[in-house]
Amino acid sequence: MVAVIDMTKCTGCETCVSECPASAISMENEKAKVDKDMCVDCQTCVDACPSEAIQME
């Protein structure tokens, strides 16, 4: 499984970027972007996202 961002819900707050222990999330065009090769399926970003824009797929 890998973290997937719902771009319609992402507010660009960058909380997931700072919380990701694998540094798999970056910002692109003011939205979060997950590097699927770096994601370690820890779900930290899912729990941290205040807009509930991230889920595991």
Express each pLDDT in 21-57 by its tens digit. Answer: 999 999 999 999 999 999 999 999 999 999 999 999 9
Number of CB atoms found within 10 A of residue 25's CB: 23
Which residues form the domain of 8? 3-56
Name the pLDDT band for 17 (thresholds 50, 70, 90).
very high
The predicted model gives 6-26 an average pLDDT of 98
- Residue 38 is predicted with a pLDDT of 98
- Residue 40 is predicted with a pLDDT of 97
- Residue 37 is predicted with a pLDDT of 97
CATH number at residue 18: 3.30.70.20
Integer Cα distance of 1 and 29 in angstroms: 25
Q: How many domains does the chain have?
A: 1
Q: Contact 6/55 with Cβ under 8 angstroms?
A: yes
Q: Which residues pair with 33 in a beta bridge?
A: 26
